[in-house]
Structure 1
Amino acid sequence: MLKISRIILAVIVTLIAGYGLFTGDFEFQTYMMFFLGLMMLVMGIDEFQKGRKSYGLISIVVFLLLLFVSVKGFFLN
């Protein structure tokens, strides 16, 4: 289940990043950050389940940072 979620989130992030790269329109960058944060959360949970707590903790911290940046982007734009 986590692997499928990670793949779906990675595809979403890649599509949004590709759209911004090709069109030059970075309006959806906050959504990309949000989905990237969710992907990092899923990766962190997966690392915790595998027993690699240090990588899991780093992924959770990156998730929190990306969540903060995306929420701030939602409210400032």
Structure 2
Amino acid sequence: MKVLRKIFPIIVVALSSYALITDTTEMLIPYILLSMGLMLLVTGINEFQKRKVTAFALFLAFGFSLFVAIKFFL
């Protein structure tokens, strides 16, 4: 779980930087949103294990970003 918490932010930053440099934002937005949603999910699971209240907000943000990513893919 600790490895995933470090990998997903790196993926988000790398994809976002690449999209800004190459000006291909429309093509990469679904992948950025999907990896950001997975980052929120992993963080939410970690917070849930610590019994923190913010886990619910993180799960809601994950659901919303997943929904938007799926809408972009279709």
Query: TM-score per shorter chain, which class?
Result: over 0.9
CA distance in 2, matches of 1:66, 1:13: 13
SS in 2 for 1:51: coil
Equivalence map 1:1-77=2 (5 Å): 2-26=1-25, 27-52=27-52, 54-75=53-74
Q: TM-score, normalised by structure 1?
A: 0.91
CA distance in 1, matches of 2:28, 2:41: 20
Q: TM-score, normalised by structure 2?
A: 0.94
Identity %: 36
Unaligned runs of 5+ in 2: none
CA distance in 2, matches of 1:50, 1:3: 14
| RMSD (Å), alpha carbons | 0.7
Q: CA shift at 1:14, angstroms?
A: 0.7
